[in-house]
A and B are shown apart, each in its own frame.
Chain A
Amino acid sequence: MKRSAAARLIRERLDPRDIVVVALGSTRRVWVELEAPQLTYYASDPMGTAPALALGLALARPDRRIVLLEGDGDLAMNLGVLVTIAGAAAANLRIAVFANERYETGGGQPLPSAGRTSFEAIARGSGWPWAAEARDEREAAATLDELLARKDIGLVALHVEAEPSPYPADAGPTSQAEDRAAFQRRLADER
């Protein structure tokens, strides 16, 4: 499954009021390309903390569903956060992991234990009530449907192909702090 196909399947299924948090790297770049209408926060660095950031946002805004688009490298950096989220009772948080089993932005090096790690099993073993994996678009569509129909936390690992995802030539005209302020203004306007 192409990364862009997985991203499109997510975009087709989101509610207009969903808030999307996007981890750094190739996951960020594919979501930028889709120009989805949902309010989106691009989490950038520090690597390994996007799930915690999304959890904090979910706790602060229980009236909104928070969908984290996560990379497997980012999640593997801090698997303990799955235990934290399982205990946090933030029912409005969902996670879709783009799993290509390598550090795409870092140069395509493999993750440790690439091909043998199951984020579904890790999530379930961490206390998540529901988790799934999808290896093609048909499975992705079905598991994303279930993820978004649920009333509690859930995690789907989407196995995507390893594809080059180069840095953009231009970092863009705004800083992370300016993007953060813009996100907060729109969040306030949407109350």
Chain B
Amino acid sequence: MSVAAQNAERIVAALTRAGVTVAASLPDSWLSDVIDRIDAEGTIRHVRVTREDDGVGICAGAALGGERAVLVCQNAGVLLSANALAGYGLHHQLPFLVLAAYRGSYEDRFYYQMYKGLVTEAVVEGLQLPLHVVEGIEQVGIVEEAMRQAFLARRPAVVLLRRAALLGDGRQAS
């Protein structure tokens, strides 16, 4: 099993421990194994979305119905979803988790990802949402804690996953 698959297994195990039963996803190459693992998880209803703010709405609706939900996407999806995150976080006060691949930082080798790395944390802070960065898979416990924090704070929590947390140190996925 690849490092990415092993890490995906641990991340999805953390999601199930956190009580997640609904997941919405939009792919990023770093997230392929996580999304595949979610799709294979029998206790999670997985919805593939066309835009990340659909995923925010789905997670909010699931929370409204009493379930725990996660949106899995690239950090571009966090940026795109700013209005939806603020609306469901601050106006409706509905809690859920956003797990986002943290593209555009020091470990990313693609120039077109850089702008996302420059602005993501500031945008999430501006949205007044809890924000955590998982540097490596050994910090996967943050996923479960962030869901708890989301429910205590009654708003979404955003967890950004570094490349090492998703793929290890290998350089296969782009």
Contacts and interface: CB of A to CB of B under 8 A. Distances in A.
A78 B69 contact: no
Contacts of A5: none
Nearest to B50: A80
Interface string B34-53: 00000000000101111101
B62 interface: yes
A94 B120 CA distance: 36
A14 B117 CA distance: 48
A88 interface: yes
Contacts of B88: 46, 49, 53
Interface in B42-96: 45, 47-51, 53-67, 69, 83-84, 86-88, 91-94
A80 B54 contact: yes
Contact of B64 (A44, A45, A56): A56
Interface string A150-191: 000000000000000000000000001100100110011000
Contacts of B154: 177
A180 B94 contact: yes
A5 to B, nearest CB: 29
A54 interface: yes
A58 B67 CA distance: 11
A177 B153 CA distance: 13
B51 to A, nearest CB: 5
A45 B58 contact: no
A83 B54 CA distance: 11
Q: How large is the interface on A (under 10, 10 to 19, 20 to 34, 35 or more residues)?
A: 20 to 34
A33 to B, nearest CB: 23
B69 A56 contact: yes
A78 B61 contact: no
A36 B165 CA distance: 50
A59 B91 contact: no
Interface string A69-87: 0000000001011011001
Contacts of B49: 52, 84
A56 B61 CA distance: 4
A149 interface: no
Nearest to B69: A56
B57 A56 contact: yes
B50 A59 contact: no
Contact of B51 (A58, A80, A180): A80
A51 interface: yes
Contact of B60 (A53, A58, A177, A183): A53
Nearest to A51: B57
A12 to B, nearest CB: 26
B61 A53 contact: yes
B22 interface: yes
Nearest to B64: A57
A104 B60 CA distance: 26
Nearest to A54: B61
Interface of B: 21-22, 45, 47-51, 53-67, 69, 83-84, 86-88, 91-94, 154
